[in-house]
């Protein structure tokens, strides 16, 4: 058995699923976690080196249990990619408190629960890699995305802090900032998504960033993320003016 092991959450669909397949194709043993056990089983049927470990990341005790199950079965983890995320653009157009809480619970606290389960393992091992999938939506507040943008911004900031904590123990921390990627989540959007890419494209970019570089930030597609980085450093008055004008142009 190849001893290179990656644990991926959110692996039942979208970027997480494509990333699991990409690493499996590259010969890695993949521990794949998500709530939908049937979809994980389909992955295992397709790729025997993708091993299903059902998990709801909002259950912090279950995160620890599943981590121990992964170690017991696969003996080692080199990389963790915490990829679970939800978005509800329709409810974001009004202040839906329950949806806001749910988005934060899954996107932010679910990732923290996952990190908590591997934190001591990597510190004691003094090697390894923790990666969090955030979004360019975390750079600045966007229309109809208050909770989603806030959850991803919180995740990015947490990754920056964790980087310093884990660097002392020779553990790499990275954050992934995708642009628009075609997934079941982005299929909910009812506005034009510029430079949208496939989840397979995202998986290829992430594989390179996770295994062939040592960068803190993995972002793609560069043609789009460059624009978002410019918006990120703009003064507020200019940013707000441009986005407001853009909303009028697409009749949003």
pLDDT for 187 = 64
Dump pLDDT digits (tens) for 9-42.
999 999 999 999 999 999 999 999 999 999 999 9
Nearest to 35 by CA among 6, 64, 78, 66: 66
Helix (H/G/I), strand (E/B), else coil: 68: helix
Write down the number of H helices and E strands in the chain.
10, 9
The count of structural domains within the chain is 1
Dump pLDDT digits (tens) for 95-109.
889 999 999 999 999
Span 142-159, average pLDDT: 94
Q: Is the dihedral of CA 17, 172, 102, 135 positive or negative?
A: negative
Pure H helices in 126-235: 146-167, 199-211, 222-233
Residue 51's DSSP bridge partners are 31
Catalytic residue from among 148, 158, 239, 252: 148
Residue 251 has pLDDT above 70, yes or no: no
Dump pLDDT digits (tens) for 178-231.
998 988 777 677 666 778 899 999 999 999 999 999 999 999 999 999 999 999
Residue 68 has pLDDT above 60, yes or no: yes
Structure tokens at 164: 């310093």
148 in catalytic set: yes
Crossing angle for the helix pair 146-167 and 110-125, nearest 10 degrees?
A: 10
Task: Name the percent of the chain in helix, strand, coil, to the closest 5.
Answer: 55, 15, 30
Q: What is the CATH number of the domain that holds 52?
A: 3.40.50.720
Dump pLDDT digits (tens) for 88-146.
877 777 788 999 999 999 999 999 999 999 999 999 999 999 999 999 999 999 888 89
User: What are the DSSP E strand ranges found in 90-212?
Assistant: 129-133, 172-178, 181-182, 197-198
> Residue 16 is part of which domain span?
5-249
């Amino acid at each position: 058995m190849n001893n290179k092991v990656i644990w991926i959450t959110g692996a039942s669909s979208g970027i997480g699923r494509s990333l699991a397949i990409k690493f499996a194709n590259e010969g890695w043993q993949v521990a794949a976690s998500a709530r939908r056990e049937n979809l994980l089983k389909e992955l295992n049927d397709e790729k025997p080196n993708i091993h299903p470990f059902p998990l709801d990341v909002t259950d912090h005790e279950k995160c620890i249990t599943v981590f121990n199950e992964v170690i017991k079965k696969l003996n080692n983890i080199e990389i963790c990619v915490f990829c679970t995320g939800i978005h509800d653009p329709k409810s974001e157009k009004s202040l839906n408190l329950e949806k806001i809480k749910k988005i934060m619970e899954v996107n932010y606290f679910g990732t923290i629960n996952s990190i908590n389960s591997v934190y001591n393992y990597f510190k004691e091992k003094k090697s390894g890699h923790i990666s969090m999938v955030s979004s360019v939506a975390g750079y600045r507040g966007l229309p109809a995305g208050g909770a989603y943008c806030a959850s991803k911004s919180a995740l990015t900031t947490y990754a920056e802090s964790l980087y310093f904590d884990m660097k002392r123990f020779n553990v790499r921390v990275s954050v992934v900032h995708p642009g628009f990627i075609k997934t079941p989540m982005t299929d909910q959007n009812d506005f034009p998504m510029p430079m949208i890419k496939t989840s397979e494209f995202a998986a290829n970019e992430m594989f390179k960033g996770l295994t062939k570089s040592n960068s803190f930030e993995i972002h793609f597609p560069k043609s789009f993320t460059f624009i978002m980085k410019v918006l990120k450093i703009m003064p507020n008055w200019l940013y707000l003016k441009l986005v407001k004008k853009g909303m009028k142009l697409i009749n949003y």
